[in-house]
A and B are shown apart, each in its own frame.
Chain A
């Protein structure tokens, strides 16, 4: 059973001229997969990501995560679901600037009034090499380090899926490669299901599955 599934997902923006951002997108992602979605600017990939994260509602279709149709949840239910089951990473400004790195990582658990499993927490921060940066503030970290913290936060609740929207878009080549390799590491070590939106072919090639968004429709290409 796929951990993530979309059925005929459609998003139309009304206006003087209607914009069909997503057109009958059907997608299935199995647990533990590392998937890249590529596409040109304006192809609808970020819109798809927003639908999957539950931050936007489709015009038609369904999104199922662990068999839960998130499109039928109300805002509060969706927020709580997202907190517990979805990790989100953006291109930049991922962290709350006025709280420490440690708090940034633990934020979803704290909001759920849960404490982290110490061993798991330790493993996450060691894997991401941010164990010595817990007491710092975001502005004291480099771009790459900030993205690592964002990845740690996305992992801490052991979510069903991690969604990343252009996570290396603001990084230089060295940091991009590092972050990309971290995604692979996290995918392997924690069996995290990760869906990356990117326009960078190099990053896409590091994933086991690549999909293409073209004018709101999704196409698959297998990587051997």
Chain B
């Protein structure tokens, strides 16, 4: 009881304990803001996914009746809900077919958030005689609307809702959603059914993957990876990973590790920083109460009781700033997100949220933050508690001498400047008192440097790791017919357009075993040296006929005798290098005159004749990809081939890309003109146009957000740095109270003392600058190595945002200097007598 009373009364002296109060408050605000940001990004994303797609564990497609019965009896499955797809043909609607997707009521309640979010009017089906229709259906079939009855198959349904769903003009199927009636569930496999699949929840979700693997074995199905590749098995990966359930058991997926390693590392560094910050502040406060400790000890307080007293003081003092920090951190996180939202509004992006949404006040985050903060405080108080309990009565009654035995001694050769020499001796002897400051500075430099280096890498990546495309606008057309030849002619008539090209492609699989003599010796050597695998895809590109003729003429090929394909006979020697710095070597042997490929869709093989070789992608339409073998032909040739071999249908339409070169100033008008021309030739639903301005706007928003976060981080670390500087100087000067009194009594003037402390401060700053440089250099090497030296460390270093870094340096140094000046003032005000008095 007496210990609690003593702790309480000690905490009441606000003036003395204010440094601890504010240190804890700042620590909790920053930690809390970080946690709220993580929570909003991760948890928010997880909750969003759960809302949209549900919390099921797996879906198994194409199940038959026997499999369904086996699954129903499976002991590891908690719940299984069926869904059925019915294809109805020759319906009396604008389009000939309907795909009717029926699912159980539970699936509508729990796993249909995405569809619900697409609702334009009405609601989801709640009864088996209700159905959801797409807005395209309602638009194209005006006699049907919300509330009307529609006949699908042999039953009538009421349209209870309309959802947004875009169809291409040649899509033959309308998609409807309906609810499975109870007798439908029993008769899942009777009547018309084009597929039944089961959405599964396991009793123990941690056993999802192992249970599913067992089920697949029991059902005699193919292995998990094959089914995943085929699309007949689906795991709710995002949901499961959010609960730390991974496909490889305890080993998380690569994406998860990449995402979280940086976050956990950052959080860890920040926690250590705060523990140091709070420790410094608490140590100062505790040392101010040393005489009281001496008195208590001389009155009979045991070391154990003293230990408890110091810990309880720390916890009591920290309670109010922790609680206040919880609230303030939540507000600060909201402020940060609000600024980012404002930023996105200014940049005018499509699909941006119209209204600012507050950060979810997650109770778990508050609890975790409270516990982490208490833990930080407890850790910070442990050492002072131990020191206080071990301190002798005499020592504590006399004042601070706790560091005596830890003073590092140094025989400095006689400096002609005595003040400089004394400062050097002191800087070495008392460097342990600046450990907190050095550690805090080192950690904040590490984090800040990492941010700058990663940004430098990103900037270099944006600048040099992409093909320099001259095209500022790309339109994409989907069609199951040949592209109208007048389209290109009409586009060329648009006055502000400098160049326009059309391109279509088709992919094949490269047959390693049947192309033994294909790849060049240089490529073979390069693959051997680097130890990398080579599994390219073969893409046949078709250029507009006139463009293809131009290419043939440029390379001296006779157009009239042209049979076969032009091969882009260049490949990057080292694909890890940034795109702009890549050196290219021949892809194929000169003697290779054909290439054997496989069409995955119909498993047909083709032997494609190579009629010539080129060294650049024609008209720089696309970048040269390291995992691609590109062949070129004319549009007519490829279209003839694809249509003759039935390779084009509604499921596999042709995708034409129109690339336009126009100045940025006229781009908005050009975009409108291009859209008008496209709409003349293809339905508007089948074409999509995007220009460079949208990309630039998105990048601008991203950069502004990053700058905001970088500056925010800078401010945070500076606050931490200043706090540590203040406390470290305080500890240092307090340790040397008697020394300063002695020096003054021996005849050292205030000016000389100040000069000595200036020198000592300069030594600290010099050390901090050295840390900065070492961290930067080390960080640059590490990041460069992690990215397999795509950019050299020198390039990364040159591209760092030095103005921001220098600003950080300067303000940090000013902070250290300010803390020192504050200390000097205190020494000057100190009376020799008070310092030298012995009780």
**Which A residues are within 8 Å of any B CB, using their own CB?**
50, 53, 55-56, 75-76, 79-80, 82-84, 88, 90-100, 107-108, 110-113, 135, 137, 139, 153
Contact B747 A84 (CB under 8 A): yes
Is B669 close to A, CB under 8 A?
no
Contact B422 A99 (CB under 8 A): yes
Contact flag A79-B748 (CB < 8 Å), given A50-B833, A92-B838, A113-B418: yes
Closest B residue to A170 by CB, please name it: B838
CB distance from A91 to the nearest CB of B (A): 6
8 closest A-B pairs by beta carbon, nearest first, are A83-B747, A98-B429, A110-B418, A55-B832, A79-B749, A88-B745, A108-B747, A82-B747
Contact flag A79-B418 (CB < 8 Å), given A55-B833, A97-B407: no
Contact A96 B748 (CB under 8 A): no
Interfacial chain B residues near A83, Cβ < 8 Å: 746-748
B407-425 residues with Cβ-Cβ distance < 8 A to A are 407-411, 418, 422, 425
Closest A residue to B745 by CB, please name it: A88
CB distance from B630 to the nearest CB of A (A): 73
Interfacial chain B residues near A92, Cβ < 8 Å: 838
Among candidates B404, B407, B746, B750, residue contacting A107 with C-beta atoms closer than 8 Å: B746
Interfacial chain B residues near A55, Cβ < 8 Å: 744-745, 831-833
Contact flag A100-B739 (CB < 8 Å), given A55-B832, A79-B747: no
CB distance from B422 to the nearest CB of A (A): 7
Docked Cα-Cα span, A205 to B606, in Å, equals: 121
17 of the cross-chain contacts (CB-CB < 8 Å) are: A79-B748, A79-B750, A83-B746, A84-B747, A96-B739, A96-B742, A96-B743, A97-B407, A98-B407, A98-B408, A99-B422, A107-B746, A110-B418, A111-B418, A111-B747, A111-B748, A139-B404
Contact flag A93-B738 (CB < 8 Å), given A55-B745, A56-B833, A98-B425: yes
Is B456 close to A, CB under 8 A?
no
Contact with A along B719-750 (1 / 0, CB 8 A): 00000000000000000001100111111111
Contact B411 A100 (CB under 8 A): yes
Is B259 close to A, CB under 8 A?
no
CB distance from B7 to the nearest CB of A (A): 30
Docked Cα-Cα span, A55 to B746, in Å, equals: 11
Interfacial chain B residues near A96, Cβ < 8 Å: 739, 742-743
Closest B residue to A107 by CB, please name it: B746
Contact B425 A111 (CB under 8 A): no
Given contact pairs A82-B745, A98-B408, enumerate 9 new A-B contacts (beta carbons under 8 Å).
A53-B745, A55-B833, A84-B747, A88-B746, A93-B742, A96-B742, A98-B429, A110-B418, A135-B411
Among candidates A88, A90, A98, A153, residue contacting B409 with C-beta atoms closer than 8 Å: A98
**Which B residues are within 8 Å of any A CB, using their own CB?**
404, 407-411, 418, 422, 425-426, 429-430, 738-739, 742-752, 831-833, 836, 838
CB distance from B686 to the nearest CB of A (A): 83
Docked Cα-Cα span, A93 to B742, in Å, equals: 9
Docked Cα-Cα span, A202 to B640, in Å, equals: 124
Contact A98 B410 (CB under 8 A): yes
Docked Cα-Cα span, A85 to B410, in Å, equals: 30
Docked Cα-Cα span, A130 to B214, in Å, equals: 88
Closest B residue to A137 by CB, please name it: B409
Interfacial chain A residues near B430, Cβ < 8 Å: 98
Interfacial chain A residues near B751, Cβ < 8 Å: 76
Contact A98 B426 (CB under 8 A): yes
Contact A91 B747 (CB under 8 A): no
Docked Cα-Cα span, A220 to B407, in Å, equals: 45
Contact A76 B425 (CB under 8 A): no
Which residue among A97, A107, A135 has the maximum number of chain B CB atoms within 10 Å of its CB? A97
Among candidates A53, A75, A91, A99, residue contacting B750 with C-beta atoms closer than 8 Å: A75
CB distance from A59 to the nearest CB of B (A): 15
Interfacial chain B residues near A56, Cβ < 8 Å: 831-833
Interfacial chain A residues near B407, Cβ < 8 Å: 97-98
Interfacial chain B residues near A76, Cβ < 8 Å: 749-751
Docked Cα-Cα span, A76 to B744, in Å, equals: 10
Interfacial chain B residues near A107, Cβ < 8 Å: 743, 746
Docked Cα-Cα span, A55 to B838, in Å, equals: 16
Interfacial chain A residues near B836, Cβ < 8 Å: 90, 93
Interfacial chain B residues near A112, Cβ < 8 Å: 747
Docked Cα-Cα span, A75 to B838, in Å, equals: 24
Interfacial chain B residues near A137, Cβ < 8 Å: 409
Docked Cα-Cα span, A82 to B749, in Å, equals: 10
Closest A residue to B832 by CB, please name it: A55
Docked Cα-Cα span, A84 to B746, in Å, equals: 9
Interfacial chain A residues near B832, Cβ < 8 Å: 55-56
Which residue among B407, B426, B745 has the maximum number of chain A CB atoms within 10 Å of its CB? B745
CB distance from B95 to the nearest CB of A (A): 91
Interfacial chain B residues near A99, Cβ < 8 Å: 422, 425
Interfacial chain A residues near B404, Cβ < 8 Å: 97, 139
Interfacial chain A residues near B738, Cβ < 8 Å: 93
Interfacial chain B residues near A90, Cβ < 8 Å: 836
Among candidates B410, B742, B746, B838, residue contacting A91 with C-beta atoms closer than 8 Å: B838
Closest B residue to A56 by CB, please name it: B833
Which residue among B422, B742, B833 has the maximum number of chain A CB atoms within 10 Å of its CB? B742
Interfacial chain A residues near B831, Cβ < 8 Å: 55-56
CB distance from B430 to the nearest CB of A (A): 7
Docked Cα-Cα span, A96 to B753, in Å, equals: 14
Which residue among A88, A91, A96 has the maximum number of chain B CB atoms within 10 Å of its CB? A96
CB distance from A9 to the nearest CB of B (A): 16
Docked Cα-Cα span, A153 to B836, in Å, equals: 18
Closest B residue to A98 by CB, please name it: B429
CB distance from A180 to the nearest CB of B (A): 20
Docked Cα-Cα span, A57 to B318, in Å, equals: 43
Docked Cα-Cα span, A93 to B409, in Å, equals: 17
Docked Cα-Cα span, A108 to B748, in Å, equals: 8
Docked Cα-Cα span, A100 to B411, in Å, equals: 7
CB distance from B363 to the nearest CB of A (A): 53
Docked Cα-Cα span, A110 to B418, in Å, equals: 6
Interfacial chain B residues near A84, Cβ < 8 Å: 747
Contact B749 A80 (CB under 8 A): yes
Closest B residue to A109 by CB, please name it: B418
Closest B residue to A96 by CB, please name it: B739
Docked Cα-Cα span, A137 to B409, in Å, equals: 8
Interfacial chain B residues near A100, Cβ < 8 Å: 411
CB distance from B687 to the nearest CB of A (A): 80
Closest B residue to A81 by CB, please name it: B747
Contact B746 A153 (CB under 8 A): yes
Closest A residue to B407 by CB, please name it: A98
Among candidates A79, A80, A82, A94, residue contacting B742 with C-beta atoms closer than 8 Å: A94
Docked Cα-Cα span, A7 to B746, in Å, equals: 25
CB distance from A214 to the nearest CB of B (A): 22
Docked Cα-Cα span, A98 to B407, in Å, equals: 7
Docked Cα-Cα span, A111 to B422, in Å, equals: 10
